[in-house]
């Protein structure tokens, strides 16, 4: 599968502190959140490991809603300009922090964004074909080594970016949520296969 994600997280505090605790929790609240985002009533629900839930099938929206944390995964979030999700974030959680990580290793594209109280703080979208698609707000601390060449693509001379987008996308996921899909995990990361999230199906 590689690294593919379309995950939006809304949180009162740092989300990685709560991610390990969401497995199997808040089914009714999660269903209400999924239906609010989808604008339809779900026809089926099942648990799905987080590593699969971050890239749900068409017609499926994965969600978890527990105290202080809302996780929503949907391919409907995919956009080359994450700033376009600002209105949605403001509607869902105007008084929370918001984080999105979007990436597709089949296209070597990755993007992420951060909001605070519904206002965009940082948005970045990069791929080797188009370069920097969107670059808004101040760079976050974990980004600096990437831009400074510490994660250059050694095996590909002339690579058009100073890093591989998927490497940065996984690092953003690690910094925001505490897990990665590809790469070397550290002692502070958890395995997304060990956490289940509710998957809701919607009729066409």
User: Per-residue pLDDT tens for 95-139?
Assistant: 999 999 999 999 999 999 999 999 999 999 999 999 999 999 999
Beta bridge partners of 69: 11, 66
- Average of per-residue pLDDT across 73-97: 95
Does 56 score more than 70 pLDDT? yes
Report how far residue 106's alpha carbon sits from residue 113's, in angstroms, rounded to the nearest whole number.
21
Tokens at 10, concatenated:
């809304």
Per-residue model confidence (pLDDT) at position 156? 65
Does 149 score more than 90 pLDDT? no
- Average of per-residue pLDDT across 197-203: 93
Q: Please give the C-alpha separations between residue 160 and each of 29, 38, 130, 145, 165, in angstroms, as whole numbers.
A: 44, 37, 9, 17, 11
- Average of per-residue pLDDT across 174-183: 93
Per-residue model confidence (pLDDT) at position 101? 98
Does 23 score more than 90 pLDDT? no
Least confident of 20-29, 138-147, 148-157, 164-173: 148-157
Contact 175, 142 (CB under 8 A): yes
Per-residue model confidence (pLDDT) at position 177? 95
Residues in the chain: 204
pTM of the entire predicted model: 0.94
Contact 192, 49 (CB under 8 A): yes
**DSSP three-state, residue 124:** strand
């Amino acid at each position: 599968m590689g690294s593919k994600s379309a995950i939006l997280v809304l949180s009162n505090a740092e989300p990685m502190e709560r991610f390990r605790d969401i497995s199997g929790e808040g089914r009714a609240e999660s269903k209400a959140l999924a239906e609010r985002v989808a604008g339809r009533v779900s026809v089926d629900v099942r648990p799905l490991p987080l590593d699969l839930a971050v890239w749900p099938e068409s017609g499926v929206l994965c969600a978890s809603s527990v105290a202080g944390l809302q996780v929503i995964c949907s391919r409907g979030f995919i956009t080359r300009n994450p700033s376009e999700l600002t209105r949605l974030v403001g509607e869902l959680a105007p008084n929370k922090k918001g984080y999105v990580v979007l990436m597709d290793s089949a296209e070597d594209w990755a993007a992420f964004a951060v909001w605070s109280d519904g206002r965009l703080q940082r948005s970045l979208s990069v791929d080797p074909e188009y370069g920097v698609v969107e670059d808004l707000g101040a760079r976050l601390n974990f980004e600096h080594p990437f831009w400074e060449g510490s994660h250059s693509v050694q095996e590909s001379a002339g690579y058009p970016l100073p890093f591989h987008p998927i490497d940065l996308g996984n690092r953003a996921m690690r910094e925001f949520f505490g897990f990665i899909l590809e790469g070397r995990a550290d002692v502070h990361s958890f395995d997304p296969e060990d956490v289940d999230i509710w998957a809701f199906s919607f009729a066409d």
